[in-house]
Chains A and B, each alone.
Chain A
Amino acid sequence: MAVALHTDVLPPASRTYPIAPTDRLARLFEEHAAFVARSLRRLGVLDRDVDDGLQEVFLIAQSKLDAIEAGKERSFLFGIARRRASSLRRSVDRASRRDMRSLEEQEVEAPHESEKLTEEEHARAMLDEVLDALPLDLRTVLVLHELEEIETAEIAELLGIPVGTVASRLRRAREKFEIEADRMRARLAAED
């Protein structure tokens, strides 16, 4: 219960609409915002862009509220998030990623005090890099299985694909993930 949604204290005006769309959007947001935000981040959206991405996903959802079947909300939102992540990833130009890297390099001069803090951040940045090496369809199942810890059958439902497809994608995703992780370790070791 991180944020209470004050729909109950909205002025009466909002109640004049029989099925107040704000209410449904508020409910969707309350239930799924965290999942959508995590998904965006893990599907390749930069941390600083997650807020905007989250807002966009729910704005799109708002415009299609009628099309969202009851019980399929999460799947619907995830689908939007996936498309947003895909286009945001494309639009994030390499230059801005380079900027971020050079920023990190500047900080190398002053790692002392925050060493502990940055170890996990460093691991997180490496995770980004490894995941970036995966095609989006593999990345998606890996993220849902490994990070979100969703069962295969549910992933299939979420993505609207057969369970067998999820299983085979997952297998390939893990193979590739392991190879890329090793590759990165080797590269880091060579740099040290």
Chain B
Amino acid sequence: MLFNSLQFIFFLPVVVLLYYLLAHKYRWILLFIASSYFYSVFYFPYVFVLYAVIIIDYVCGLLIERSEGRKRWWWLVISIISNIGLLSYFKYTNFFIDIFNETAPFVHISKHIKNLDIILPIGLSFHTFQSLSYTIEVYRKKQKAEKHIGYFANYVLFFPQMVAGPIERYERLGNELRISQRLSYENFSHGLRLVLYGLFVKMCIADNLAPMVDEVYQAPESYYSSSVWMAMIAFAIQIYADFYGYSTVALGAARMLGIHLMDNFKQPYFALGIQDFWKRWHISLSTWFRDYVFFSMGGSRVKTFRWIINVLFLFAVSGFWHGANYTFIVWGILHGIAYLLDKGVSNIIPTQIKQLKLFSIISMLVTFAVVVIIWVFFRAKDLTCSLAILKQSMSYGIEANKHLQVSCIPLSMLAIFVSLELAIINTRFDNWLASKQISFRWAIYSVLILCLLLFSGIKSFPFIYFQF
């Protein structure tokens, strides 16, 4: 079920109402059914893939806790192989088949393998990673194994964040799900504010920018470089608005049930460097990779060369996590290189200069420009298209004959969005609004509701991160 769907508009209030009407001991059943239903709307059979993940990791968690020594390690390996195996089958099989078909002729193999008719279960990368974090934490003895399969299932399935994160740890979400939540006006109003703002960001910003971006990415060679740059910047804003919008609705929906999810974004385009960017963008994924991959490889305690390789490997894997395409790997590696350069440069620049306001502004602009350029690889359908976009962005458009037409609606929506984001620096929309007078709050609600009704995009673009 999509957040920006009529189904969800009816589904959420019904679940919230039933949740508070039920006694605490039965709520896990409601959440389990609601989450299963929420997921099955996408494609019913795949809810069983999720059940498989739940059963495997639930059993592995228990067995890890009960075992000692080498056995513990083996149960963890089984959990990792099962999760990564499922993810690989659904997400990467056809990618590797394509690689085989492309390379086979070079080694004189005439066999051609047909692609499999596989549909990737929505958000599989998210729930496998979330579930894996639990077994790893149990293995590391930082988390006790959950005895109640219902609560564990809800940790993996919890509908507000199951398909695109934030990727929560059991310590936080699992335990919050166990708490007997009471209906509170504060939770309800904060939740509704976040849902409203999230929908505004997704539907009025991302969905209005998407057609412009699509237009240029379909035929970049036809557009003047100024238009290509506009599309590149538009995509940077689109993907942020898309994912941030989704995460904000997720936070709001969970908050209405009394559950506090982690913030997945902290205004990443105000970052002062690539290192800073990754502390603000998709925080739950960055911390996952840091805690479970980077630290396992020795973290920062290894020699410089090894550390560089580790960082590049980490970013490449993170890119590959996003999608089975070379473009994502290149996107990841470029971010890794930018991260290393940023780290190197920031060690050289004296602290007095870093404290200058002008330096902060320049850093912010440079970071934004670097991120915008690297996003090209994320958005383009293949490497050829990425390079065509970059080439066109730097050419004088000798063969180009088109300018991108931008209507005033996306620009007006963007102006409202940027104003709000500037207003809520260092806080969050719901908390910021809570500190304001009722008349001001209603003025903001009115603007957002009218924008949603009149200016939301009607081309219905799916959440970008759902495909991961």
Answer yes or no: are A and B bound together in one complex.
no
Interface residues in chain A, defined as those with a beta carbon under 8 Å from any beta carbon in chain B: none
Interface residues in chain B, defined as those with a beta carbon under 8 Å from any beta carbon in chain A: none
